[in-house]
Amino acid sequence: MNNSDTWIGVAVAAAVVLFLLIWYVLRKGRAREGDHVYRASRLTTGNRIFPSQVIITSTSVTLLKPQWIGKLEESVHTAHVSSIAIDTNVIWSTVQIETTGGHNPLVCSGHTKSDAVAIKSAIERFQSQYYKKDGRPA
């Protein structure tokens, strides 16, 4: 085996490792399924490799932050959301969801202005549906 064959083998192995790394990052950062899933932009701080996602259902609001190994997931029942604050900057917005229990708020930055407004309106709509039925989901 000569020197050029060794370098070709190293280059192929490096290409395979790079491909697997890119595949892993894209797979972990993909948007989850659902009607109300809002993913932060990869162009913002804290979301470059694995963007955060806000997942809203009729009963809960979940902040999902993928990590290299595992994920950080915080969930709040819709009835326990006390306020939603949107800080709109020039391009990106930060959404802060406060709870009634005094727990640390769910904070997710890097959303577009339209996504931030959609997050707020979806939560408010689900809360309205929840409370129309005397505290029971519609």
Same domain, 54 and 94: yes
pLDDT at res. 136: 57
How many structural domains is the chain composed of? 2
In a domain, 137, yes or no: no
Of the candidates 119, 111, 133, the one whose C-alpha atom is nearest the C-alpha of residue 39 is: 111
Q: What is the CATH number of the domain that holds 116?
A: 2.30.29.30
Domain coverage including residue 40: 32-132
In a domain, 101, yes or no: yes
What is the average pLDDT across 1-10? 82
In a domain, 138, yes or no: no
Block residue for tokens 């407004």: 117
Same domain, 3 and 23: yes
Of the candidates 33, 29, 39, the one whose C-alpha atom is nearest the C-alpha of residue 115 is: 39
Same domain, 54 and 103: yes
Same domain, 47 and 102: yes
Distance of CA 124 to the CA centre of its chain: 19
Same domain, 56 and 16: no
* 126's tokens: 């689900």
pLDDT, averaged across the chain: 89
- State pLDDT tens for residues 9-48: 999 999 999 999 999 988 888 888 888 999 999 888 888 8
Same domain, 41 and 19: no
